Structure 1
């Protein structure tokens, strides 16, 4: 379940830092009852960044497949083996 805090709670920076490091997901900050910001620890950010990078690579691979720029794995491996004498 996501954590949601009002913007006025940001005054206690030490408590916010502790909350970010204890949470395994982003913390949503509201202003006047509406979403305003998202806070997270560096660890959570890096984890999310890795997922975004992986999804981007999958998306690129799927686009290459759709454009016909891919070959079956067996053919690709055979090509590499022949090229490098493996």
Structure 2
């Protein structure tokens, strides 16, 4: 279940929000004046979202150091679009 709370709860009920984020292992969405403003998540949740990306960026950095081949931004985006299209056509 999505947990949506007013941003004022961050100040007034921080321990409760912290416990929810950590124990439920799901994010808490904060609103201000009825509109979403931010998402709170545990470090574990954040790591799950970013670790794979960081690993792939490290691999790309290594590849760039070992090669002189460079792509234009259009080539990069064309390859990315092709990869996305190939995966959605499965």
**TM range, smaller chain:** 0.5 to 0.7
**Runs of 4+ off more than 3 Å:** 51-57
Give the alignment's TM-score, normalised by structure 1. 0.55
Q: How many residues align?
A: 61
Distance 1:35 1:9, change over 3 A: same
Structure 1: gaps of 5 or more residues: 67-86
Larger radius of gyration: 1
Cα distance between partner residues in 1 of 2:39 and 2:56? 21
| Counterpart in the other structure of 2:5 | 5
Residues 15-60 of structure 1: CA deviation (Å, up to 9, x unaligned): 1211110232321100010001110011111111135457878xx8
Give the alignment's TM-score, normalised by structure 2. 0.53
Structure 2: gaps of 5 or more residues: 60-75, 83-90
What RMSD over aligned residues (CA atoms) do the two structures have, in Å?
A: 2.9
